[in-house]
Amino acid sequence: MAVARLLRGQAAPADQHPFVLPDSISKAISPEIRSLCDRQQELRGKLQAMSMAPKNERASRVGWKIFGYDDTLSAEQWIEIDLGGVHPIDAVCLVPVDIPFADSSAPGHGFPCRFRVEVEDGAAHWTVVADHSKEDFANPGSYPVLIPARQEAVRKVRVVMTKPWQKGVYHAYALGEVMIIEGNRNLATGLSHVRVRTSGSLERAPTWSRQNLIDGQSIVGAPNAKTRHPLTHGWESETYTDPSSNVWVQVDLGRSYSLDEVRLLPVKITEFSNTQGYGFPMRFRVELSNDQEFRTSNVVADWSVRPFGSSSFSPLTFPCDGRVARFVRVTADDLWEKSEGQYIFALGELQVYHDEMNIALGAGVTALSVALTGPKNFNPSYLTDGQRGPRQLIEWPAWLAELSHRREFEQELAAVDARLAVLQPRLAQRVVRGLMGVGTAVVLVAVGGFLYQRRKQTLAVAALQRRIAGDLHDEIGSNLASISMLAELGRREQAGLSASEIEEIRNLAADTASAMRDIVWLTQPGPHDVPRLTERLQETARHLLRGVEWTFEIEGMEDAPPLDVQRHLLLALKEMLNNVLRHARAGRVWIRLAVEDQKFSLEVKDDGCGFVVGRSTDGHGLTSLRHRSTLLQGNLNLASQPGAGTRVLLSGLLNPAAGRVGA
């Protein structure tokens, strides 16, 4: 009944009693679960091999946003980016935001639920390259959404949003960045004349602004790959006490090139660094020149008058528009405060692009000053080593594709997990319901078996009681009758008993006491295991063979036989040894009890006078032994010769059929 109640409990709804079968059983029963589990393992393996999403890449410039409550926000909003000219783009990448505000903090905050992406060829012909306006798009969280857009000619990119992100009555659209990829470049940041228009915008600079959509500052960070390179952070200046000191660092490209863009990567000491790049100045400018001394130069970025603000760890990209130069210099006008009264300038990597290649990789670096003390992972050569921290820098297409694929794999894995979470409890319930009938039958069979075994045990105990009663009647009753007869004879003759009669009475009393001890041992509570059986048999030999040299060996007995078989062994040994004492006149006796394959053999040998086998053998007390061998489904073998001793071997089964072990 307890098992039935347990099964009924397991069959309860999964939300009340969650119960899931082991995967091996679920997969064996359900092909769908087997397929899902295989896909789950495959996806986990792919994710393990991929780079993790960048951590702590938030910037003070979060992105673009528009919001409202209930119906105050128009369902359709749009963003349009004009490149200022026609370009053969490869992809459009929508980067979500992860805002740090406690009341609405969430990766993917404001990402549109439904949208489409269109491109225009410069002649007012629009083409849809991605349409997710018919059904909800899974929120990407912290991952970019990469949209292939292999077009020969594109001037404008438009994102049309038709269903907003919602949290209660709060409705919003928000994006951190719109990247337009051509080769290894993001044209939205790498061209000078890019313009952004939106249907509406929350303009609260620096946090929210439409211009943040093309500033290169987003949660995707710098493109990098898993590596085992030594830790290198870049270049660091010596320490200054005046924050307005002008400190510069520059690279020599080896010859003059027509340059497309310059990228500056702030130092990121650890994954848990704050959002201000280590050593990155608040005011700076970037210049190009063919003169190493920069007596003449072209300024491609000038943040020396107004502060740039807090940088993220994403690359800061500055268009060069094909200007020709050999040297690129970055000058800090407002140093970063390292500690109170101590100011420095540090930069993680400086990249210069020409024909989609970083031609600054491995270029020579010179600086106004270099930190003379401090960590060894700062060095001027590390500014162009293609590495930031322990990670190798790679190009945008590979990085965005890997992050986008990781997003897709994680979303698919979440869907697989959710499906398994539904299927496995249902399967368990079906299996349990199916097993309930089987379980009930098993319980009934078990109860019947228990009752049968109990009945069988009761009958066995009753049979043992009958045999013990017979022992009491036959042996002890006979001995007591003999003692009574001798005593009555002595009373009638009114004379003292002879020494032989007294000895006979003593022997009878001793035999009676021994028999009583055997019966008490057989009936007393507690285990009757192999050590106790061995001890009892040896004690019997020790008692009966006083004055005779003897040995006793037991081999192969690992488990104690049933109590009834123990009784036969004990009584058979006593009969064998009594025969030795009464008839053999032996000086040495060998006793051996061996067990093999659930069969036993009890052997007693002596060096006594022996006899001729076949002549009056019953007079040697062998009738009882033959009877026991029959009960034990065995044999009795006797070997003896006058003057050569006697060997008696009793064999049988350790656990004979209950019906055959009787009397």
Architecture of the domain delimited by 528-663 = 2-Layer Sandwich (3.30)
For residues 218-256, one letter each, b for 16 or more C-beta atoms within 10 angstroms of the residue's C-beta and e for the rest, the string is bbbbbbbeeeeeeebbbbbbebbeebebebbbbbebeee
How far is the C-alpha of 21 from the C-alpha of 433, rounded, in Å?
A: 13
How far is the C-alpha of 650 from the C-alpha of 648, rounded, in Å?
A: 7
The 3-state secondary structure of 546-610, one letter per residue: CCCEEEEEEECCCCCCCHHHHHHHHHHHHHHHHHHHHHHCCCEEEEEEEEECCEEEEEEEECCCC
Architecture of the domain delimited by 228-392 = Sandwich (2.60)
How far is the C-alpha of 48 from the C-alpha of 282, rounded, in Å?
A: 38
- Percent over 90 (pLDDT), the chain: 49
pLDDT reading at 363 higher than 50: yes
What integer is the mean pLDDT of 296-315?
88
- Residue 427 confidence (pLDDT): 82
What integer is the mean pLDDT of 112-121?
97
CATH T-level topology, domain 64-214: Jelly Rolls (2.60.120)
- Residue 242 confidence (pLDDT): 95
277, exposed or middle or buried, with CB in 10 Å at 0-12, 13-18, 19+?
buried
2, exposed or middle or buried, with CB in 10 Å at 0-12, 13-18, 19+?
exposed
pLDDT reading at 662 higher than 90: no
Banded pLDDT at 426 (limits 50, 70, 90):
confident
Q: How far is CA 372 from CA 237, 245, 279, 335, in A?
A: 8, 18, 16, 18
Cis peptide upstream of residue 375 (ω within 30 degrees of 0): no
Q: What is the pLDDT of residues 312-331, one digit of tens each?
A: 788 999 999 999 999 999 99
Asked if 64-214 and 228-392 have one fold, the answer is yes
pLDDT reading at 208 higher than 90: yes
Residue among 407, 413, 247, 392 nearest 330 (CA): 247
What integer is the mean pLDDT of 335-344?
92
- Residue 411 confidence (pLDDT): 92
Can you spell out the DSSP letters for 314-361? S-EEEE-TT-EEEEEEEEEEE-EEEETTEEE-EESEEEEEETTEETTT
Termini Cα distance of the chain: 40
Banded pLDDT at 14 (limits 50, 70, 90):
very low
- Residue 11 confidence (pLDDT): 43
What integer is the mean pLDDT of 359-373?
94
Residues in CB range of 66: below 8 A, 6 or more apart: 73, 77, 172, 173, 174, 198, 199, 200, 201, 202
Banded pLDDT at 359 (limits 50, 70, 90):
very high
User: What are the sequence ranges of the domains in the chain?
Assistant: 64-214, 228-392, 528-663
